[in-house]
Structure 1
């Protein structure tokens, strides 16, 4: 199989990076994401996991992928896939509000990019939150990390995280 690559961008900031899909380690997840591209949505910066930016989507796979290639300690450049139900993300503490598509009982897919070290997927409300590592940034991580840090300091309102085939 030929290697597959994505272009991931913070649209308003005009920053992008390139990631390689890890089809050998997470084939079902990679297929689900690849078939759904392009994807884009409001970007969020993690509160608990630390150095993570992500967007939330309604389910797009015919069947949610199993927990293949899991981690609770993502490294810089990891792309992770998470599935949550509305009760897991419904707390006011998360701050999503009604605009994020997070509804009680509804499934939500979280596509995340980790841009720096020292991440731990432990949530005080639900415990360990393993993610599926389905891609790795191979170019442009430094610029994306700078933009993600700016997003943390300056805010995410009006910014979009997009995933497209490269």
Structure 2
């Protein structure tokens, strides 16, 4: 199989990076994401994991991918996939608007980009939260990391994170 790539974009800021899918390490997840592209939504900056931005989208896979190529310590450039029930994200401590966590699908997928070091997927409410590493950024991480820092400092309101097949 030829290498496949996705563009990850902060749409309002006009910043993009390109990631290679890790088909050899997470084939089921990569296939599910690839078939569902384009994907995206309101961007959030992680409260727990540190250097992570993500979008919540309705579950899209016919069957939820297994926990392949898992991590609890993502590195810069990792794209991760998490799946949560709508009730897991519905607690007020998570801070999501009701429409973000309760889409009526029973499951919500978190597509995340880690842009800097020292991440730990440990949530004070639920414990360890392993993610599936399905891609790695191969171009533009420096520009994206700068935009992510700006997002952290200036706010995420009105910004979207999108994932599309690269040209």
Q: Give the shorter-chain TM-score range.
A: over 0.9
Pairwise mapping of residues 104-115 of structure 1 onto structure 2 (< 5 A)?
106-115=106-115
Change (3 A) 1:66 1:7: same
Cα deviation for residue 94 of structure 1 reads: 1.2
Q: Which runs of 5+ in 2 are unaligned?
A: none
Q: Which residue of 2 is the match for residue 152 of structure 1?
A: 152
User: In the comparison of the two structures, how many residue pairs are matched?
Assistant: 166
Q: What is the alpha-carbon distance in structure 1 between the residues aligned to residue 86 and residue 6 of structure 2?
A: 28
Q: Which residue in the other structure is 2:72 paired with?
A: 72
Q: TM-score, normalization: structure 1?
A: 0.97
State whether structure 2 residue 132 is matched by structure 1 residue 132.
yes
For residues 51 and 151 of structure 2, what CA distance do their matches in structure 1 show? Answer: 11
Superimposed CA distance per residue, residues 104-145 of structure 1 (whole angstroms, 9 cap, x where no aligned partner): 882100000000000000001110000000000000000000
Of 55-64 and 97-106, deviating more is 97-106
Tell me how large the CA RMSD over aligned residues is: 1.2
Query: In 1, Cα distance between the equivalents of 2:153 and 2:99?
Result: 22
Give the secondary-structure state (helix, strand or coil) at the position aligned to 1:42: strand
Structure 1 residues 31 and 43 mapped into 2: Cα distance closer, same or farther (>3 Å)?
A: same
Could you tell me which runs of 5 or more consecutive residues in structure 1 were left unpaired when the two chains were aligned.
none
2:121 is the counterpart of 1:121: yes
Q: Which residue of 2 aligns with 1:83?
A: 83
What is the CA-CA distance between 1:95 and the residue it aligns to? Answer: 1.2
